[in-house]
Structure 1
């Protein structure tokens, strides 16, 4: 997050390219699915191309600035992917609670929302099918579709809250951990070293 924040206010093309290359290496080493990698490339490619094209039409942007803007979009997506595609949601929720001191209700709320995604997809398919049986076609922009999904999600949230309470979850009460996720010295070293290398590239390296 710090690196993404920094490159938002800098125009160092070499750092952007280095971050893209590093992120791709991490994703390949982690054996990310090719289809996922293709989506991670196609979406920012479309958005970055549209943004650069609109800026180029104005005629007052340099080629270097356009290249920085274009690659910056890929840095955001690929850096985020190195995090989201290599970290299990349960491990992330546990680490946020234990190491980032995030309140348990937010950590488990994030985990519950993530695990509800397949159920939401199934609910959307059910709503589509029910509408077709009545001779009504609901497109992805139809307000009725989202309204019905929101109503279903509100019902699920109540059920989830009752389930957590019945399993002994009490907000603000001291908790023990079934699985501990420690921050090792190696983690701090890699984090600090990577951050320092980026600073050298941003403020000392080539433009």
Structure 2
């Protein structure tokens, strides 16, 4: 399915199941999402981390909605706590099958997102590894001078901000040197098609979601 339609489908699923109490629909979405993740051969470590983090969030929501609530409603508490798994697994299905570059290109071409936002998002994502390396270099340089910069040290983040500002300026100059002009028409190097099959799958998925949400308890 087209990345933009996958994004819209995940958004619709999250919004509809946020306002509609349907535990069975939540369970169906969770099972299908988990099956898809296993089909895409998600790493066991990644899946375990997702289950642990989402499980803690679900337990917290369940405690707030049932144990510490004035009105004991087990069904409602299970519904709102299971939504944490819905959001996490549904989003994971999008990220495991679509790269950031594919998503940015699709949003620009199919949903007509301004190119400055698409390229800005890609630039921000691509600069993260460089910032991580820069932070390590800053800490190592500090240790060589006998200064230990802890994770919460304001000096560390101040130096990292200076590195980020310098990198942002270099990135802007690099884009301009490669011919990027904001608002100017641009050719498409890698086209992201939006076919009738994509629309058909999207419509079928939305219809099944609505049928399940409004027919199942």
Q: Give the RMSD, CA atoms, in angstroms.
A: 1.6
1:148 to 159, 162, 165: 159
Alignment of 1:116-135 (within 5 A): 116-135=127-146
Aligned length: 206
- Structure 1 residues 69 and 133: CA distance shift in structure 2, 3 A: farther
- Displacement after TM superposition at 1:35 (Å): 1.5
How far does residue 14 in structure 1 lie from its aligned partner after superposition?
0.6
The answer to whether the aligner puts 1:64 opposite 2:75 as a matched pair is yes
Q: Give unmatched runs, 5+ long, in structure 1.
A: none
The answer on 1:180 being equivalent to 2:191 is yes
Quote how far apart the aligned CAs of 1:156 are.
0.9
Select the structure with the greater relative contact order (CA < 8 A; seq sep ≥ 6): 2
Q: Is residue 35 of structure 1 aligned with residue 52 of structure 2?
A: no
Q: How does 1:4-19 map to 2 (within 5 A)?
A: 4-19=14-29
Return the TM-score normalized by structure 2.
0.88
Moved over 4 A (4+): none
The answer to which of 32-41 and 158-167 deviates more is 32-41
Find the residue that maps to 1:183 and give its secondary structure.
coil
Secondary structure in structure 1 of the residue aligned to 2:97: coil
Cα distance in structure 2, aligned partners of 1:53 and 1:127: 43
State the Cα distance separating 1:146 from its structure 2 match: 2.7
- How many Å apart are 1:144 and its aligned residue? 2.9
CA 57–135 in structure 1, closer or farther in 2 if over 3 Å, else same: farther
* 2:55 aligned residue: 45
Please, which runs of 5 or more residues in structure 2 have no aligned partner? 1-10
Cα distance between partner residues in 2 of 1:175 and 1:169? 9
In the TM superposition, residue 145 of structure 1 has moved relative to its aligned partner by 2.8
Q: 1:200 to 1:116 in 2, by over 3 A?
A: same
Q: Which residue of 2 aligns with 1:85?
A: 96
